[in-house]
Amino acid sequence: EATPDPMAINVNQVGYLTGDSKVATVIEKNAKSFEVIDVTSNKSVYSADLPEEATYDPPSEMFCKQADFSSVKDAGTYKIKTDDGEESAEFKIGDDIYGDLYKDVVLMLYNQRCGVELDSSIAGEFAHPACHTGEAVVYGTDKKIDVTGGWHDAGDYGRYVVSGAKTVQDLFMTYEDNEYKADDIGIPESGNGVPDILDEARYELDWMLKMQDDNGGVYHKVTCDVFPETVMPEKETAQLIACPISNTATGDFTAVMAKASVLYKEYDADFAAKCLEASKKAYEYLSGNMDAHGFSNPDDIVTGEYPDTIFRDEAIWAAVELYAATGDDSYKKAADAIIEGDDIVNYGLGWADVGYYALYDYIKYDGGSAKANELFFNEVDKTVEQIKDNGFGVWVSPTKTFAWGSNMNIANKGMLLLMANKLKPDADYVKYASYQRDYLLGRNAVGYCYVTGFGTRTPLHPHHRPSQVLDVAMPGMLVGGADSNLEDPYAKAVLLGKAPESRYADNAQSFSCNEITIYWNSPLIYLLSGLGNTK
C-alpha cells in the first residue's frame, strides 16, 4: 500500500488528560488561526491565532506551527480546524480515556508468552496451543536443557535475555514509581493477591532462571538457527539452541534478579531468596570475566544478535541492584569504581545501554554519589533542550537521525523525564514527557498513532508473525517507527528521499520500521502509567 500523505494537523489521536499541556502541530504554512470543535455539538469551544511565521523543523523537513489549546479542559471528543479548512483527526479530552489503551499495551506481554497455551478468553483470535516446548541444545555441546517459558521477543519467536531484562526492569519501575498494583488487568494470575505487573514480569523471570548455567553465567538467547517462516508460534518446531553465555546477559540478569529479590519479598519470600542467590552467582561469574568480549552470533546462527561489546554499564547496574538488595558496601564500591573511572560507559535505558537504570536506582536507594547525580541530571537537562525546539515536541538525536526502534528511544526519553520528576519534581519534565506520548500516539510527521488498534491512522500490517498469519494486527503493540537508515529492502525501495522523521512504512515486510517488541511496549507502559489515569 502507498504511504498516505502527511496530515495537515497532527494531534495525539487517543487524547489528552484534562490537565495536560495540549499542543497540535500544524504543517499548513498559510493557516492563520485555529479552532477546537466539540464534535458532539459541532460547536467551537476555543479559537486562537497561529504564529505568523512557520518554523522549519529539520528532522521532518516541514514548516510547523504550534496550536496550543491547553485551556480546553472539559471532557469530550474534539477536532482541530484551521481557518483554511483543514481538520485534524478526532481525539478525546478526559481523565478516563487511557484505560483501554493501557490494558492492551500490558496484555501484549501476555500474548507474547511462550511455552504455554494462550487462552482465547484473553488472547481472542490470537489464542494458540503451547509452543517451543522441546528442550534446547546448548550451542556446541550435546547437552540439552529445559528453557521453556518467557516472552517471544518481537515479531520473531526468539527469547533473548538482554531485551527481556529491559522489559522486566520497566515493569518493576512501573510498580515501584507509579505504584501500579492492579490485580485485575485480566491475565490468568489476576486476583491472586500479587499485582499483575509483577505476575507478568515473573513469567519472564522464571524463564531467565532456566537460562543460567551451573557456572553462574547466563546464555545470551534461545532461538532456532534461523528466523521462523510466517507461521504461528507452535509451528516453529526446529531444534532450539541455547546460545553462548554473554557478559551482557549475565550482568542484566544479575541486576533484575537482585531487584526481584526486593520486590517479591512481601509476596513470595522463597522466590525472592532464589532470585538473590541466582543474582549473586551471576555476579561472581561476571566479576571473573570482566575482560571477555561481547556477544556475537556464532557463524551458523542468524537470529537476532543484540550485540554489545561494552558491558561496564551492565556491570554497574548489577552492582547497584545487589547493593540495594543487600546493603553490602562492597557492591557500592564496585559500582563507584566504574562510575568514577576513565573507561567508556554507555549510559542509556535500552537493551544495550543500561547505565541510567543503574544511576537511577542508586540515587533512589541512598542518594547516590555526586558523579551519579551529575551524570543522570546532565542527561535530563540535555533531553529537555533537545525536545524544546522540535516541531512535533519529540526528542530527536543531535544528528537528527531516527534509529531502528526510534519509538523506543522516544518512549525512553519520556520515561527518563518522569524518573527525573520522581527525584526532583518539575512540571516541565512532566510536560515534555507527555509530548513524547503525544508523538507516539499521532503528533508526528506521518500522522500515525503508532500503537496498533488505536487512533484513526494506525498500523494495520505490523511485522509480527501471528498478526501476519491471521491478517489482523494484534492490538496494543507499539511499532518501531521511523528509521532514517533504511534497514530493510522494502524501506530502501519506498522511503528513500523522505525526511528522516517520515521514513516509516506500514508494511509487514518492513521489519526495520514496523516490527514490534516487548521492550518497545514496556517503556510505554511506564510512560502511560506515570502520566496517570490508566486505570
Residues that bind ligand 9MR (CB under 6 A): 153-154, 156, 158, 304-306, 404-405, 511, 515, 517
Q: Which does 154 bind (CB under 5 to 8 A by kind): ligand 9MR, Zn ion, none?
A: ligand 9MR
Note if 463 is an active site residue.
Answer: yes
Q: Which does 132 bind (CB under 5 to 8 A by kind): Zn ion, ligand 9MR, none?
A: Zn ion
Note if 189 is an active site residue.
Answer: no
Note if 471 is an active site residue.
Answer: no
9: how many CB neighbours lie within 10 A of its CB? 23
> Looking at beta carbons only, is 517 or 529 nearer to Zn ion?
517
As a whole number of angstroms, the distance between CA 254 and CA 248 comes to 10
Report the largest interatomic distance among the alpha carbons of the chain, rounded to a whole angstrom.
72
Provide the minimum distance between the beta carbon of 482 and ligand 9MR in the complex, in angstroms, as a whole number.
Answer: 13
String marking each residue 267-296 x if it binds Zn ion according to CB under 5 A: ------------------------------
> Looking at beta carbons only, is 131 or 524 nearer to Zn ion?
131
Helices 518-531, 99-111: crossing angle, 10 deg rounding = 150
Verify binding: residue 132, Zn ion, rule CB under 5 A.
yes
- The CA-to-CA distance between both ends of the chain, in Å, stands at 36
Q: In 63-132, which ranges are continuous DSSP H helix? A: 99-111, 120-123
CB 257 within 8 A of CB 202: no
Q: Which does 304 bind (CB under 5 to 8 A by kind): Zn ion, ligand 9MR, none?
A: ligand 9MR
Reported in sequence order, the residue ranges of 13-135 that DSSP labels E, i.e. its strands, are 15-16, 23-26, 33-38, 43-49, 55-57, 62-68, 76-82, 91-93
Q: Beta partners for 353?
A: none
269: how many CB neighbours lie within 10 A of its CB? 11
> Looking at beta carbons only, is 149 or 304 nearer to ligand 9MR?
304
> Looking at beta carbons only, is 22 or 220 nearer to ligand 9MR?
220
String marking each residue 233-252 x if it binds Zn ion according to CB under 5 A: x-------------------
Q: Which does 114 bind (CB under 5 to 8 A by kind): ligand 9MR, Zn ion, none?
A: Zn ion
Provide the minimum distance between the beta carbon of 411 and ligand 9MR in the complex, in angstroms, as a whole number.
Answer: 13
> Looking at beta carbons only, is 132 or 259 nearer to Zn ion?
132
- Residue number of the CB closest to ligand 9MR reads 304
Three cell numbers at 448? 500515525
Three cell numbers at 364? 533512589
The C-alpha angle 454, 455, 461, rounded to 5 degrees, equals: 65
Which residue matches cell numbers 515536541? 393
Q: Which of 463, 464, 483, 501 is catalytic?
A: 463
> Looking at beta carbons only, is 104 or 515 nearer to ligand 9MR?
515
Provide the minimum distance between the beta carbon of 350 and ligand 9MR in the complex, in angstroms, as a whole number.
Answer: 7
Which segment (143-151, 230-238, 448-456, 479-487) binds Zn ion by CB under 5 A?
Answer: 230-238
Say what the alpha-carbon torsion angle 351, 352, 353, 357 is, to the nearest 10 degrees: 30
Residue 308 has φ and ψ, to the nearest 5°, of: -170, 105
Nearest to 518 by CA among 103, 98, 99, 106: 106
Which segment (124-132, 259-267, 505-513, 514-522) binds Zn ion by CB under 5 A?
Answer: 124-132
Identity of residue 461? H
Q: Which of 156, 170, 196, 353 is catalytic?
A: 156
Note if 156 is an active site residue.
Answer: yes
CA 13 to chain centre: 19
Q: Which does 233 bind (CB under 5 to 8 A by kind): Zn ion, ligand 9MR, none?
A: Zn ion
Provide the minimum distance between the beta carbon of 486 and ligand 9MR in the complex, in angstroms, as a whole number.
Answer: 13
Provide the minimum distance between the beta carbon of 357 and ligand 9MR in the complex, in angstroms, as a whole number.
Answer: 17
Provide the minimum distance between the beta carbon of 371 and ligand 9MR in the complex, in angstroms, as a whole number.
Answer: 28
Say what the alpha-carbon torsion angle 509, 514, 518, 519 is, to the nearest 10 degrees: 130
What residues contact residue 442 under an 8 Å CB cut-off, 6+ apart?
10, 11, 12, 13, 14, 89, 91, 448, 449, 455, 456, 457
> Looking at beta carbons only, is 22 or 463 nearer to ligand 9MR?
463
Which residues form the interface with Zn ion (CB under 5 A)? 114, 131-132, 233
What are the residue numbers of the active site? 156, 463, 506, 515
